[in-house]
Each structure stands twice: as structure tokens, then as C-alpha cells.
Amino acid sequence: MKWITARRRHPLAGYVVVIIALAFFGVGYAFVAPNADRAQAQTVAAGSEEAPVDISNGKQIFVQSCASCHGLDGKGTENGPDLTGVGAAAVDFQVSTGRMPSMNPDVQMPRRDPVYTEQEILDLAAYVDQEFGGGPAIPEQAPGLAPQRSDFEDESEYKAAKEQYEAAYEQYIAGGDTEAGMKLYMTNCAHCHSWSGAGGALTDGRWAPEIHEATPREIYEAMITGPGAMPVFNDTTITEEEKQSLIKFVKDLQAEPDAGGVFSLDRIGQVAEGFIGWTVGMSLIVACAIWITAKQRAHD
């Protein structure tokens, strides 16, 4: 007879099972529960090391990947807009979010992994800025993409760069004022990107993208260049400090754990809550009504 078979009908077996189950859930919860490390786990960006830009490399990239739509002279074609005066920030935003080079010029591009490295993007941005007339510069003070392991030869160098980047990120996010940022975001941004930054539907089949993965620098650049249907919020409309506050508000909110339960319903809110209320809540209760009635003896 197996060991378990001999003991499973023991009077205390039930309690043992309950205790094991409780221990299992308790320990399991300790693993799953949000803690400071995980809440902070954010994709973040690299420190602004002053690297020399190589404009000729930028030109080469432009000719290879951009000129077919924007034209060799940057004046645009029927497939792509004029780049006169767009500036380095616009190039950095479009290319670092992977929206450019675009696969299909007729549709709104979603965010993708960038095709070029940070250095290549800087080269390209410098070329476009110099060749087609200057525009807003890259906001170096806001941290951009986090350093990638593949860009570094050895582990220690990568770790150092990452630490430096994270410190810069923390410092930037710590700098702003939540209340000012919240008011600016709720007044200017939330009606398209929604209160949680999850994005939303716009007119004419367009949409405002979600901004969870956007780095502080990309959010900053989007504000000063106004990509797509987005209006421009230049540094006179919303000052540099105000932009920092706004970005702090967005990033803090995104890093905030969901206190209300394991299932946050993607912070969609009431539509998801109503859906769960009906599909899970009501179905379970009605199923129970059916079950109780079916289990009832016929005449008692």
C-alpha cells in the first residue's frame, strides 16, 4: 500500500491539506505581490553622453531609408511629408519609436522596436537638421532609450551605463511637481491619450497611441514636434519645467501598482468592470441559483 493511500483518510488529513494549501497561497502571494522593485521595473533610457555625430553616416542612412518617400532633397513626395525645418527632435522621435522608416506610408504607424541604434539615430537627426533647416533640438535633459546589452562589448560596461541611465531617469522623474503635471496632463493630453496613458480613438479612423513605453525624451519630443494629429506644445506654451512635471505625472502613474486587486482590467475602467460584472459575477450567481434548485429534493 502506498504511503499516501494509508494516510489520506486519517482524521487529521483534511487539516493537513488546508494548512498546505494556505502555506502555498501565502508563499505564492509573497512572490506575486507587487513590491518596490517590480513597481519600478520600467523600460528606460540612456544618459546623455556627448558622442560626436557622424553626419556623413546620417546622410547615408537618409539616402537608404528615408529618401524614397521624403525625397533626396527632403521636400517630400506624395508618399511622405516635407522635412524642411522639422528638426532633430522630430527625427529622434519618429525613428527611436520605430515609426520611421515606415512600412506603409498610407496608415498610421504603431510603435515598434527601433531599426537603428541610438548613435545612428543621432547621426541621422544631425544630418536632417543641418541639411533641411533646423527645428526643435533633441531634449538631451530628458532620458531617452535605455542602453541595450547588444550595444556593449562586455557586461560590466553595460551595467555601468545602465546604472548611470537609471540614476538620470530617477533624477529627472523626481524633479517635477505632481499637481502641476496632473493638471497639465488632464487639460491637454488626457482627452486623446486617456487618463491612464492607454491611448484612445480619434476621428477619421486615427488613434492616439498609448504612451506606456514612451521614454521621457520621446514624450518631450512628441510635445515639441506634434507628430501626426497631435498639436505642438512648444517650450513657451508649456515650459521645460512644466513638461518635466507632466512627464513625472505620467511615469509615476504608470509605475503605480494596482492596489485594488490582481486583475487590474488593464485600467480600462467601467466598460471592463461592467463586462466582468455581467460575465463573471452574474453568471456565477445565476449558475448557483440553478444548482441550488436542481440539488433540492423534490418535496421537502
Partner 1 sequence: MSTTPAPKALRGLGNYIDDRFHLAKTGEKNLRKVFPNHWSFMLGEIALYSFIILLVTGVFLTLWFNPSMGHVVYDGSYERLRGVGMSEAYASTLHITFDVRGGLFIRQVHHWAALIFVASLVIHMLRVFFTGAFRKPREINWLIGVAIFTLAIVEGLFGYSLPDDLPSGMGVRIFQGVLLAIPVIGTYLMMFMFGGEFPGEAIIPRLYTLHILVIPGILLALIVAHFMILWHQKHTQYPGTGRTEKKVVGTPMYPAFAVKAGGFFFFTFAVIAGLAAFVQINPIHLFGPFTPTSITSGLQPDWYMGFLEGALRIFPNWFDFTIAGYAVPMGVLLPGLGGMGLLFGGLAAWPFIEAWITGDKRHHNVADRPRNAPTRTGIGAAGVTAYGLIWLAGSNDILSETFSISLYATTWFFRIAIILGPIIAFIVTKRICLGLQRRDREILEHGYESGTIQQLPSGEFIEVHKESSPDTVHVLQSKPPARIDIDSTDENGVEPPSGRGAKGRLRARLAHWYTKDNVSFEGVRPHSGHHLHHGATASEEESVKAH
Q: Are 172 and 142 within 8 A, CB to CB? A: yes
Query: Which C-beta is closer to partner 1: that of 64 or that of 264?
Result: 264
Three-class SS of residue 23?
Answer: helix
Residue from 90, 161, 208, 216 in contact with partner 1 (CB under 8 A): 208
Minimum distance of partner 1 from residue 187's CB (angstroms): 5
Q: Choose the stretch contacting partner 1; rule: CB under 8 A; options: 16-24, 78-86, 156-164, 183-191.
A: 183-191
Look up residue 244 and give its amino acid: Q
Residue from 77, 207, 212, 228 in contact with partner 1 (CB under 8 A): 207
Q: Is residue 292 at the binding interface for partner 1, with CB under 8 A as the rule?
A: yes
Q: Is residue 238 at the binding interface for partner 1, with CB under 8 A as the rule?
A: no
288 is in an annotated binding site: no
DSSP string, 145-170: SPPPGGG-SSHHHHHHHHHHHHHHHH
Residue among 172, 166, 92, 176 at smallest CA distance from 127: 92
Residue from 50, 78, 153, 204 in contact with partner 1 (CB under 8 A): 204
70 is in an annotated binding site: yes
Q: Is residue 300 at the binding interface for partner 1, with CB under 8 A as the rule?
A: yes
Task: List the beta bridge partners of residue 207.
Answer: 201
Q: Restricting to residues 53-112, name those near partner 1 by CB under 8 A.
A: none
Show the cell assigned to 243.
513638461
Minimum distance of partner 1 from residue 199's CB (angstroms): 7
How far is residue 164's CA from residue 175's CA, in Å, rounded to a whole number?
17
193 is in an annotated binding site: yes
Q: Choose the stretch contacting partner 1; rule: CB under 8 A; options: 10-18, 23-31, 156-164, 201-209.
A: 201-209
Q: Is residue 244 at the binding interface for partner 1, with CB under 8 A as the rule?
A: no
Q: Are 197 and 259 within 8 A, CB to CB? A: no
Q: Is residue 39 at the binding interface for partner 1, with CB under 8 A as the rule?
A: no
For cell 498610421, name the residue: 108
Half-sphere exposure in the Cβ direction for 43 (13 Å, CA): 12
Minimum distance of partner 1 from residue 148's CB (angstroms): 30
How far is residue 187's CA from residue 190's CA, in Å, rounded to a whole number?
7
Q: Which residues of 192-222 are buried (b: 16+ CB within 10 A; e: fewer)?
A: bbbebbbebeeeeeebbbbbeebbbbbbbbb
Q: Is residue 175 at the binding interface for partner 1, with CB under 8 A as the rule?
A: no
Q: Are 62 and 127 within 8 A, CB to CB? A: yes
Q: Is residue 202 at the binding interface for partner 1, with CB under 8 A as the rule?
A: yes
Q: Restricting to residues 268-287, name those near partner 1 by CB under 8 A.
A: 268-271, 273-274, 276-278, 280-282, 284-286
How far is residue 297's CA from residue 300's CA, in Å, rounded to a whole number?
6
Q: Choose the stretch contacting partner 1; rule: CB under 8 A; options: 162-170, 217-225, 233-241, 250-258.
A: 250-258
Three-class SS of residue 178?
Answer: helix
Give 208's DSSP letter: E
> How many chain residues interact with partner 1 (CB under 8 A)?
59
Q: Is residue 262 at the binding interface for partner 1, with CB under 8 A as the rule?
A: yes
Residue from 194, 225, 244, 245 in contact with partner 1 (CB under 8 A): 194
Footprint of partner 1 on this chain (CB under 8 A)? 178-179, 182-183, 186-187, 190-196, 198-205, 207-208, 252-253, 256, 258-265, 267-271, 273-274, 276-278, 280-282, 284-286, 288-290, 292-294, 296, 299-300
